[in-house]
Structure 1
Amino acid sequence: MASRFHLGAATGQQLLDPWAQGISIMRDVWSQLDITQIGSLIAIAGTIPTAWRFLHRVWQEAYGCVRRFFLASVTIPGGDPLNRNVVQWILANRPRHCRSFTGRTEMGRASSDRAAALKKSQHAIQYLPHWNARWLCYDGSIFVVTRKGSDFGSSLSDPSNDGIGNEDLTVSCFGWSADPIKNFIHACREYAEKQAQFFVIIYSRDRYGLAWKPKARKPLRRLDTVHFDEGLKRELLGDIRNYLDPRTRKRYQSRSMPYRRGYLFYGPPGTGKSSLSVAIAGEFGLDLYEVKIPSVGTDAELEQMFQEVPPRCIVLLEDIDAVWSDRSAGEKSQDNGVGRDGQNNTAPNCTLSGLLNVLDGVGSQEGRIVIMTTNRPEQLDSALVRPGRVDMKVFLGNISQKSARDMFLRMFSPDLGCSSDLDTEEVEKLADQFAAEIPEDTFTPSLLQGFFQLHLESPQDAVSNIRTWVTKELEKNSDKGFEVINGRKHDM
C-alpha cells in the first residue's frame, strides 16, 4: 500500500503505518502529563488578554502624556488639498517592506494590454498601503503621522475616489515648536506640485454636495490642438496672461475695481469649447473647478461653493444655455412649477439672480477666472453676459482648411512614431492634399477627429478615404431637416 513504508526488509521488520505510529507517540506523551500542570497553563493563558489590555491602556496613557507635554502637532482635515499632499509624500516614501494593503478595483484606468482592454471585466487593481500611524524622519526631525476617520472603507467604495486624502491627519514631532512640521508640510506640497505640473486637476463637488473633491487628473493639452481663429486665440491668451500678472491685481485694487475676469465660449457642439478650457488651465498652471448648476440645491449652496473656490483657478460653467433660457421663463417655472411646454419643471432650484450674485455680487470672490460655454448664445439672459460678468466672448466655429491641414500634420507627425516611413516633407504634401478635400467652415473639429481615429496608422489611407467620407457627411447634413421614424422621413 502507498501509505505504508518498509523498514529494514532485510532484517525481517514489519511494515508500519505512520499515522498509527504518530497516534501512539501522542498517547504516550499525554499519559505522562500532570493534570495540575495543564490547569496551570490554562490559567496563565487566561490572564494574557487581561495583561494585553492593561499594557495597551498603559501605552495609551503614556503616549497621551508624551503628546501633551513633549509633542507639537498640526491637524489637517480630510478633503483639504494639504491632506492629499502629505499622503502622497508618505506613499511615495513608504518603506519597501510594507505588508498591509487595501485592494480596490480602479475604475478610472483601463488595462494597458490591448487584448485585455476588449474584455468588459478587465480593470486595473489599486493597492493602497493600509496604515493608521506612520513614523518617519525628515530633515533631521522625527515625525509621527496619524490618520483617523471612520469613513475610510465607505470612501473607497466610491469609484471616483482614489483613496488619498480622505481622513483627518495629525502630524506631530518632538519639541515645543511646530516649525519643523510646517516645513515638512511645505515640502509635501512642493513635492505634490512637481508631480502635478504635467496635469490639470479637475475638481467637482462630492456626491453629497458638501466639499470640493478631485474628480480627474488630465494630461496637459497643448493649445495648438484646439483649432479656431489664430488671431482670436492670441488675443484670448494675451488677455488671460495680462489678468494673471501680479501687477494687474495691484492696478485693480488701487483703483477699487473688482479683480475678476469672465469669458464666454460659444459655437456649435463639438468645436472644442471644453477642450479649450482644459488647455487654458494647463497653459497657465491653474486648477479647474466644474460647477453643474442643475445639481445645485439652493442659492445658498451655490454661494457656499463659490466661497470655497481658491482665488487663482478657473471656474467652468458648461452649457449655461441649458440652465436658463431667459429670466421670464425661469420666474414662470418657479411660480407654477410647469415649463412653457406644459411639462413638469426640471429647472435647477437655484435662481439666475443667485448665479449673478456669486459672479459679481457683494459677496463674490475675487482672483478667479469664470468660463461659461454655450451652444446657443442668443438664448442667454442679457444680464448674464453683460460686461463685468463676461469680459470677452470667443467664437469657436467649424474647422477651416488651414486648421484641417494643421490637424493632419499633428496626427501624422514623424515624431509620434507613425508606422509609415514618410519624412516631414512627404507628410506635408499629403496634408495639402487632405486639406483640399475639406469644405471650408462645414465640419466640426471633433467630427474630423473621429475620421482620424479610423486611420491613425496610415496617412496615405487617410488621404485616399477622405473624399468618400466628406461625401457621406454632406449627405447626412442634407437630412438635418428631417426626423427618421421607422425608416421613413417626416418633416419636423
Structure 2
Amino acid sequence: MNLFASPMDLSNAPGGDQTWLTSIFPPLFSFLAAFSTTNSYVFNSAKLLLLGTIIETGRRLFIWLVERFRIQYSITAEFTEGDPAYEWLIHFLTHEQLWRRSYDFRVFATNSKRRWSIGTGGSTKEPGTKKGNAEYVPTYEQPLLFRWNGYWLDIRRTMSQATNLPFQYGGTSDSGKIYVTLYTRNFAVLTELVEEVRLLYLEVSRPNVIVHMADGPHYAPTSFTWTNVKCKVRRALSSIVLPNGVMESIVEDAKEFIDSEEWYHERGIPYHRGFLLYGPPGSGKTSTIYALAGALGMEIYSVSLASSFVDDSYLQSAASSIPKNSIFLIEDIDCAFPSREERDNQPNGYIPGMPPMDPPWMLASGSRRSSVTLSGLLNVLDGVGSEEGKLFFATTNYVDRLDPALLRPGRIDRKVEYSLATKDQATSLFAQFYPEAQFPHIMPNHDLSTDSHAEVTVTTEGQSDFDSDSIAQLSKEFGNRVPLDEFSIAELQGYLLTCKKQPLEAVKGVADWIVFQRKERKEKSEREEAERERAKRRRRRWQGYIILRLQLRLRQRMKQMILKGICSSRGVDELV
C-alpha cells in the first residue's frame, strides 16, 4: 500500500492496491487527480497538509481522552508558594529525595533563608550538624511519577509569570505552583497525604523557629505575600533575661488563649489576642517573641510598616493570608505615626495627611514615613482575619507616639513594659554567660564587693578548698557595679562577649566600660543635638524661602488684578 501514490497511479491501480486515503476522501482525491495534471507541486503539498491534519487531530483526540481519564479517575490539588501547605509538600518531596537525579541546580551561599536543598533537606538538618558553605537547590521543574501508600502520584511544578519582573520588585523569586495528581477517586487519600506532609514538616521544623517575612509586593490576585522564609534556632525561655515573672506571665497568657477557642466562640467574643511590647531598644522585646514562638511551636509572620511597598491593601492581604495558630508580628509599629519632632516642625501644628514643609534634600535623606494609615491598621486588627486564633504582637520604642484608638482593649489586650537593665537582670545575665559547671575553679582572694581592683587567682583542679558560691558571688558583684536603668541587656551582653571566657576580667573591667560608654553617649548626644540645630536652621531658611515665593506670587497676582480693574474702568469711561 502506497500512502503517497500520485493521483494518476491511484486511478489506474487495481482496487486492492488503492490507498486507504482514497476510500476515505474520494471526492477530494478525484479533484486532486484532475488538478495534478497541471501542478504536481501543489498536489504533493496538499498531501502533506492532509497528513499533518490527520496527525494533529489524532494528537488532540489522545490528549482529550487522557484528560477525560484524569477527570474521571484522578484528583488534582494545587499548592501555591507562599502558602504553608506549599512548604509542607516541598519538604516532603525533598525528604523523599524524589529530585535526587536532577541535573539543573541553583547554588546559594548558606545563610538563614530556608531553601530545600538536596542531601540535607534544606535547612532541616539535625541539631548540632555542621552546615556547608553552599546549598544546591534543584530547579524542581522535572515532572515526577511515583507511588505513595499504594497510589500513583503525578507531580508537576510551574513557575510564576512574576519571575520576569525586576529583582527589586520581588520578581526573581522562585515563586510558582505545584500540581499533585492522585490516581484515585477517594478524596480521603488527598486529606491523608496533606496531613502526613504537615506532620512531617512540623517534626523536622521543631528545633527551629520559622519566620515568614513580607519582603516584596505581589502582583497577581492569587499570589501570596509570605515567600521569604527564614529559620532561627529556637531559644530557651530561660535565656531571655527579664524581671522575675514577666516571661512566665506572657507564656501562660498565650497558652490560655490557645486553649480557649471554644470558650471565645460560645460567648461570641472575637478569638483574638493582642500584645504590645514597648520600651527602649535592646531590652528584649523581639527576643521574647522568638522564644515564645519556640516554646509554643508557632510560626512567626513578620511585616515592617516602614517598607515602601506596604500600604493599607497590602497589609490587609498579608494579615488575611496568615494561617491559624500563628504569630502576626509588626515591629516598630510607631513608624506608622509621626514623631513629636515631625509634629512640632509643621507650620501651625501638625495637619494629618499633609506632607512636612522640609527641603527636598532632607526629605530624601530622612526617614520615610509609612504608607499605612491609622484607619487601615485598625481595620486589620478589627477584621475577620484577626479572629482566627492568631496572636498579634506589636513592638515599639516610643509608646507615646501611638494613637489611643490603637491601644484600646480588643485590639491591644495586654501591654508589657520593658525597661533598661536592673541589677537583678545584670546578675542573671552574668550567671548565664559563666555557668558554674564551666568555671568550677574560680575563687577570689577576698571580697570583690569592697575593692573594685581585688586581685584574683585561679585554683587548680587538685585544690579542694574551693568555694562553690564564687560564680554566684561574682554575678552579684557584677550586678552591683552596673548602674540601675542606664544600660540595656543588649549593651551588657555586648560587653560580656568581649570577655566571654574571662569572668574575673568581666567584673574588673565593667567600671572602665561604664565610663567609656557614658563618654561615648555624651559625645553622640552632642553631635545629634548639633545636627538637629543645623537641620532646624536649614528648615527655617527653606520655609522662609517658600513663604517669600508665595508672597511674591501673591503680590504679582494682586498687581494683575489691579491692572485688570483699571483697564476695565477705563474702557467703561471711553464708552461713556
Q: TM-score range by the shorter chain?
A: 0.7 to 0.9
SS, match of residue 254 in structure 2: helix
2:73 corresponds in structure 1 to 70
Other-structure match for 1:265: 277
Q: Is the 8 A contact 1:199 1:218 kept in 2?
A: yes
Letter in 1 for 2:155: V
Residue 412 of structure 2 is matched in structure 1 by 390
Query: Which amino acid counterpart does residue 472 of structure 1 have in structure 2?
Result: F
Equivalences for 1:334-349 in 2 at 5 Å? Answer: 335-338=353-356, 346-349=368-371
1:14 alignment partner in structure 2: none
Would the alpha carbon gap of residues 467 and 57 (structure 1) be closer, same or farther in structure 2, given more than 3 Å must change?
A: farther
For structure 1, the 5+ residue unaligned runs are 1-49, 111-121
Work out whether residues 418 and 457 of structure 1, in 8 Å CA contact, stay in contact via their aligned partners in 2: no
More off after superposition, 316-325 vs 208-217: 208-217
**Structure 1: distance between partners of 2:165 and 2:427:** 47
Deviates more, 1:231-240 or 1:190-199: 231-240
Aligned counterparts of 1:417 and 1:159: Cα–Cα separation in 2: 52
In structure 2, do the counterparts of structure 1 residues 461 and 338 end up closer, same or farther at CA, with 3 Å as the change threshold? Answer: same
Matches within 5 A, 1:170-209: 170-209=179-218
Matched with 2:6 is: none
Tell me the residue number matched to 2:251.
237
- The answer for the alignment partner of 1:300 in structure 2 is 313
Cα 1:335/1:400, change in 2 over 3 Å: closer
Give the secondary structure class of the aligned counterpart of 1:408: helix
Equivalent of 1:410 in 425, 432, 436? 432
Give the C-alpha shift of residue 386 in structure 1: 1.9
The answer to whether structure 1 residue 431 and structure 2 residue 445 are counterparts is: no
Please tell me whether the aligned partners of residues 169 and 216 of structure 2 are also in contact (alpha carbons under 8 angstroms).
no
Corresponding residue of 2:514: 470
Cα shift at 1:155: 9.9
- SS across alignment from 1:74: strand
Q: Which residue of 1 aligns with 2:8?
A: none
CA contact (8 A) 1:306 1:364 kept: yes
What does residue 460 of structure 1 align with? 504
- State the alpha-carbon separation in 2 of the partners of residues 407 and 160 from structure 1: 41
Match of 2:119 in 1: none
Q: CA offset at residue 352 of structure 1? A: 0.5
In the alignment, what sits opposite 1:33?
none
Deviation string, structure 1 residues 17-36 (Cα, Å, up to 9, x no partner) = xxxxxxxxxxxxxxxxxxxx
The letter for the 1-side match of 2:356 is: V
Stretches of structure 2 lacking an aligned partner (at least 5 in a row) = 1-51, 114-131, 219-223, 443-459, 537-576
Residues 319, 373 of structure 1: 8 Å contact kept: yes
Aligned residues: 424
Cα deviation for residue 191 of structure 1 reads 0.4
Residue 226 of structure 2 is aligned with which of 212, 216, 224? 212
Deviations 1:42-70 (A, max 9, x none): xxxxxxxx9xx999989867754653443
Residues 336 and 196 (structure 1 numbering): CA distance in 2 closer, same or farther, change over 3 Å? same
1:418–1:267: structure 2 CA closer, same or farther, 3 Å change rule?
A: farther
Q: Please state if 1:284 is matched with 2:288.
A: no
Q: Which residue of 1 aligns with 2:492?
A: 448
Is the partner of 2:298 in helix, strand or coil? coil
2:328 to 315, 320, 324: 315
User: One-letter code of the match for 2:321?
Assistant: E
Identical counterparts, % of pairs: 23
1:124 aligns with 2:168: no
Deviations 1:94-129 (A, max 9, x none): 15962524132236259xxxxxxxxxxx95243326
TM-score by length of 2: 0.64
Cα distance in 2 between the residues matched to 1:380 and 1:106: 40
Structural mapping, 1:151-162, within 5 Å: none
Separation (CA, whole Å) in 2 of partners of 1:448 and 1:267: 16
* 1:137 counterpart = 2:147: yes
1:85 and 1:419 map into 2 onto residues whose CA distance is 49
Partners of 1:150 and 1:410 lie apart in 2 by 48
Alignment of 1:314-393 (within 5 A): 314-325=327-338, 335-338=353-356, 346-360=368-382, 364-393=386-415
Against the structure 1 CA distance between its residues 158 and 223, is the aligned structure 2 distance closer, same or farther, given a 3 Å change threshold? Answer: farther
CA distance in 2, matches of 1:146, 1:241: 40
In 2, distance between residues paired with 1:56 and 1:158? Answer: 43
8 Å contact from structure 2 (residues 338, 369) kept in 1: no
Letter paired with 1:279 = A
CA contact (8 A) 1:156 1:163 kept: no
Distance (whole Å) between structure 1 residues aligned to residue 187 and residue 63 of structure 2: 23
Equivalents in 2 of 1:109, 1:129: separation in Å? Answer: 20
Give the match for residue 116 of structure 2.
none
Q: Distance in 2 between matches of 1:339 and 1:202?
A: 39
* Larger displacement relative to structure 2 (143-152 or 273-282): 143-152
CA contact (8 A) 1:91 1:129 kept: no
CA–CA separation in structure 1 for the residues paired with 2:352 and 2:156: 49
Distance 1:453 1:391 in 2: 37
Q: Deviations over 1:425-458 (max 9, x none)?
A: 5543433343332222221010011112222233
TM-score normalised by structure 1 residue count: 0.73
* 2:300–2:326 CA contact under 8 A, matched in 1: yes
